[in-house]
Amino acid sequence: MLILEVVMSTIKIHDREFVKSIPSEEIAVRVKQVADRINRDYAGKRPLLLGVLNGCFMFVSDLMKNLEVECEISFVKFSSYQGAETTGVVKQVIGLSESIEGRDVIIVEDIVDTGLTMHKMLETLKESNPASLEIASLFVKPVRMRVPVSVKYSAFEIPDRFIVGYGLDYDGLGRNLPDVYDVKE
Ligand code: 5GP
C-alpha cells in the first residue's frame, strides 16, 4: 500500500520525474488565507487584479472566487523561462490595454524566483501612476532572489527547487495538475 502511494505521487513530464509536494487541499487553504488578507486590506476599495500569464491562471481564479471586495481583473504576459533553466531575460509579450492611473493594483503572479520579472513589472507599472501597487504570488523562492522585490501577499515560501502543477509548467506541460510537484533530483 505504501509503495503504491509513493508510485502514485510520482509523475513523469517530458524527460523529468516529479514528486508530489503540496496537495491541492493545502493550496486551497493558503489561497483562502491570502484572499482574507486582501479582503481586509482593501475593504471599501476596488482593486484591479493584474494576472501575469500563463502561470497565474489557476491561482488568480481561486483567489478571485474568495474575494468579497469589489474587484476587477486584467492580464499581462511576460516570458523568462525555457524549460527548467531561467534565461535571465525578461520580455513583455502582451501589454496592458487599460489605464491603471489612480487604481489600486495587485499583480498576481504564480512564482517569484529571481524577482527579475516582478522588478521589471513594477518599474513599468509605476510609470502609469497607480494609487497603490502590490504583489500577490502563490510561491516565492527567497534564496533565489536576485533583485529586491517586496511580495506583500505570498501563499508559500519554498526552497530552490523547480516545481510544476496548479498552473505552473515544465516546457508547456503540467499546468493542469491540481497538486504541486517538485522535480526529482
Ligand atoms: P523570475 O523572473 O522571478 O526569475 O521568474 C518568474 C517566472 O519564472 C515565473 O512566473 C515562472 O513562469 C517561472 N518560474 C520560476 N520558478 C519556477 C518553477 O520552479 N517552476 C516553474 N514551472 N516556473 C518557474
pLDDT, tens only, 57-91:
999 999 999 999 999 999 998 755 555 555 556 56
Active site residue 113: yes
Residue ranges for the chain with pLDDT beneath 70: 1-8, 79-94
Set 110, 113, 169, 182: catalytic member: 113
Residue type, 169: D
Domains and CATH numbers, the chain: 23-161 (3.40.50.2020)
> 126 C-alpha vs ligand 1 centroid, how far in Å?
22
pLDDT of residue 185: 83
